Structure 1
Amino acid sequence: MGSMFMLGVWLFLLLSPFPLAFSERCHPNDKKALLQLKKDLNNPYILTSWNPNEDCCEWYCVKCDLKTHRITDLFIAPSVPETNFHGRIPPSVGDLPYLQYLSFHKLPNLVGPIQPTIAKLTNLKYLILTNTGISGPVPSFLAQLKNLDLLDLSFNNLSGPIPSSLTTLPKLTWLDFSRNKLTGPVPAFGSPKKPGPSLFLSHNQFSGPIPASLANLERIDLSRNKLEGDASILFSKRPQYLDLSRNLFAFDLSRVKVPQNSLTWLDLNHNKIYGSIPAGLAKIENLQVFNVSYNQLCGQIPRGGKLQTFDKYSYFHNKCLCGSPLSPCNHK
């Protein structure tokens, strides 16, 4: 009798038109902050699932910690640019104290400066604000985020210099400020004791010489800026990726001691580099990209390795380079 009664109760609950009451995992303070954020962004379509009557750990674009149930990830990144997403970065984003991952991506109508309230997110490891309309300076308060591992502010309208205080971030391994309107010198990232982050600063308006400390970095993209002087220091350690193309660098390439087997990418095109191509480049087995076109190089292209696998466009428009894949050298 008892078992039949319990079965009846179970069937009633299962078939009842009234939903079962489940305990909500999401912390009420996190939920309040997220709902305010949604309101401040004019209730965009991508946040339709943010229903106040449902557990916010189940909402789209967020992730909760499995044990504490606090919001750790907020990633508003539509698969196509969100055109009805208007406004600035809401101050309420700073009211998510356990946030470790914050991403706003492909939001062209997200405008204004980077919100100072982000400095409150001391647990943040990944900050990604990319392909948006945000403008203004790179704020120095980002240096307060001591747990940052990755900082990506690429494809925006940021202007002004990079604060030198960002070089003190102790855990930073990746920094990408490419495709903005940044100016001034490149700060002194890296040191012998702390190698420094992979540094991507292409398509800006940086100028002046580069600091010697960058030699401690393994991946550097400084392409399409107005940098000048001697960049040969960048070859002194064991770089893996060097893109210095379309700048004003001027140095004798023949004096460069090429690191063996670490270099996979070397692009020096459109500079004022002179001398000859060092024979050591022919010994690098892992070289995948190589371009020295539009410089002032001279002499025979070293034979061996992979140097002959690159086409003539990797070498042309130099002073007097010769040898495969260019025309043979005319030895008299």
Structure 2
Amino acid sequence: MWQHQSALQMINISRNYLAGQLPTNISSVLPNLLVIDASNNIISGHLPPSFCNISSMAIMDLSNNKVTGEVPTCLFTDLPSLDILKLSNNNLGGPILGGVSNLLVGAIFLDSNKFEGTLPSSLSGNPAIMDLHDNKLSGKFDASFWDLSSLQVLSVASNNLTGKIYPSICKLASLQILDMSDNSFVGSTPNCAGELKLYLLNMSQNSLSGFPSGFFDSSNITILDLRYNHFIGSLDWIHSLPQIKLLLLGGNRFEGQISPNICRLQYLSILDLSDNRISGSLPLASVASHDLDFLTLFELVSFGAVFSNMDMDDPSFTYDTSYDLRGFTFSTKGNVYAYSLSFFNLMFGIDLSGNILLGEIPWEIGNLSHVKSLNLSNNFFSGRIPTTLANMSAVESLDLSHNDLNGPIPWQLSQLWSLEVFSVAYNNLSGCIPDTGQFASFSTDSYIGNKNLGNACSVNSGRVPLPPAAPEDVGENKTSDDPVLYLVIAASFMLTFWATLAFSFCYPFGRSVILKLHHYSEELQCS
């Protein structure tokens, strides 16, 4: 396959089943190569250092293969035209970035490998993207001697980094996307609000504490994931996030009430405040006027590389230069699901479970017609289930379990044809259970813990019938409630009385009268 092709500038052999190793003399085979895309194959072996002799190289994508060994350091330092170096999802190891300090590459993708050791203490150059997530990096993250003024994307997620987040990170003023999730960072976050104008910030699954909002410029943030830390304080700062679309704050120690100003976040599509200490009632009275404008799309900044040595209008050039963001997780239908960020415009959910919320569930919540998942479980909501929940026509998962709700399950909920998961377990509900529509498919686990909730009942002419009377009530005092039968019994008594007198006065004639009256009495009782 690998034969001398001096005129070949682009090669795309991605998404095949190509196995084997790259030729060690690849610079002699393809001396004028601009683009090589050999991603999604079964290529193994080491990266040939002779790649560094192809000075015209602009894009090198060997991601999703089985390449091993270390990355030749010359790939980071000796190719001034290299705009994209993508080696994601291989078996590469050794020190990250080859231990170099000056980077010439425009976009570096080394994620999902086996790189280990610490991050370089000093870095310079003009990379716009540096994705190092899902490796075995350890030690502290101190950017005090980083001179990366062009860096727009930095991901060090899913490593073993420890220690505090130092204020030196604020110097990376061009950052738009920062992902530090799934590490062991501790302490409070520095105040970078005047310097970091982030669109996406993910610091979830660490041990960070304190008050988080000063770390970022709230006017720009669109996706914010701070879940599973030890952040504290009120949520009053949430209403100052005018562009927020994905707000994930679950698993912290936030407290206080939810401000009604949250209803002004017109772009919000996913809200997770679960497992905190939030109290008070649910302020959704004004949601009806906004409906949270769920259909507004998130326009992510494009990170296309700048190519000086090739014509971008060349019809043979089809390489996608956009940055593929990591997805997010959201709990729905009783499980945790992973979503790509391209999908979150279609996923609208609210999770307020595991707090101290109380009062009645506002009827206005039914106006959230685009919400697919609503979880209000493990709170202290009381009163009846609003019938307006039937207006949530897109809802697929509705969890109201572990509250103090009472009254019947509204029959209108049986009109929710998209509903797949439903739970009202462990409340104080009464009446009967609808068995039409999607309710016919729910198990008894959906209703367990409601001692006054009766048997299933069907919807009939828009009304749910009352539960059947208890067996001991059937026929009780029936005669006293029927006036016709009462008159018949009274007449029979009087006729029997006079017949007895007639019998006493005249035996032959009396016996005849008694027989006739007795026959007449039986006819009255049967009529």
Per the normalisation by structure 2, the TM-score is 0.49
Instruction: Tell me the CA shift for residue 216 of structure 1.
Output: 2.7
* Distance 1:105-1:117 versus aligned 2 partners, 3 A rule: same
The answer to whether the aligner puts 1:221 opposite 2:254 as a matched pair is no
- CA RMSD in angstroms, aligned pairs only: 3.6
1:275 corresponds in structure 2 to 383
1:106 corresponds in structure 2 to 158
Distance across 1 between alignment mates of 2:284 and 2:229? 26
* Distance 1:117-1:229 versus aligned 2 partners, 3 A rule: same
Q: Is residue 150–residue 175 contact of structure 1 (8 Å, CA) maintained in 2? A: yes
Distance across 2 between alignment mates of 1:162 and 1:256? 31
Q: Is residue 396–residue 421 contact of structure 2 (8 Å, CA) maintained in 1? A: no
The answer to whether the aligner puts 1:305 opposite 2:415 as a matched pair is yes
For structure 1, which runs of at least 5 residues remain unmatched after alignment? 1-12, 32-43, 63-68
1:169 aligned to 212, 218, 223, which one? 218
Instruction: Tell me the CA shift for residue 49 of structure 1.
Output: 4.7
Q: Residues 169-210 of structure 1, C-alpha deviation per residue, up to 9 Å, x if partnerless?
A: 22211111001111121232236x935342111111111112
Count of aligned residue pairs for this structure pair: 291
Taking every aligned residue pair, what percent have the same amino acid on both sides?
24
1:201 aligned to 249, 253, 256, which one? 249
2:291 corresponds in structure 1 to 238
Q: Is residue 315–residue 321 contact of structure 1 (8 Å, CA) maintained in 2? A: no
Distance across 2 between alignment mates of 1:271 and 1:298? 14
The answer to whether the aligner puts 1:97 opposite 2:170 as a matched pair is no
1:155 aligned to 184, 194, 205, which one? 205
Distance across 1 between alignment mates of 2:103 and 2:256? 55
Instruction: Tell me the CA shift for residue 301 of structure 1.
Output: 1.8
Distance across 2 between alignment mates of 1:164 and 1:86? 26
- DSSP-derived class of the 2:254 partner: strand
Instruction: Tell me the CA shift for residue 101 of structure 1.
Output: 0.4
- DSSP-derived class of the 2:155 partner: strand
4+ aligned runs moved over 6 Å, structure 1:
23-28, 51-54
2:229 corresponds in structure 1 to 180
The answer to whether the aligner puts 1:317 opposite 2:370 as a matched pair is no
For structure 2, which runs of at least 5 residues remain unmatched after alignment? 1-26, 30-48, 59-74, 81-92, 112-124, 293-347, 440-446, 448-453, 456-465, 470-527
Higher relative contact order (CA 8 A, sep 6+): 1
2:401 aligned to 270, 278, 293, which one? 293
Q: Is residue 254–residue 276 contact of structure 1 (8 Å, CA) maintained in 2? A: no
Distance across 1 between alignment mates of 2:398 and 2:373? 6
2:94 aligned to 23, 31, 45, which one? 45
Distance across 1 between alignment mates of 2:195 and 2:162? 23
Per the normalisation by structure 1, the TM-score is 0.75
1:5 corresponds in structure 2 to none
Q: Is residue 188–residue 211 contact of structure 2 (8 Å, CA) maintained in 1? A: yes
2:132 aligned to 76, 93, 102, which one? 76
Distance across 2 between alignment mates of 1:90 and 1:49? 18
Q: Is residue 243–residue 266 contact of structure 1 (8 Å, CA) maintained in 2? A: yes
Instruction: Tell me the CA shift for residue 330 of structure 1.
Output: 3.5
- DSSP-derived class of the 2:274 partner: coil
Distance across 2 between alignment mates of 1:188 and 1:137? 17
Distance across 2 between alignment mates of 1:61 and 1:226? 39
Distance across 2 between alignment mates of 1:320 and 1:242? 23
Distance across 1 between alignment mates of 2:376 and 2:273? 10
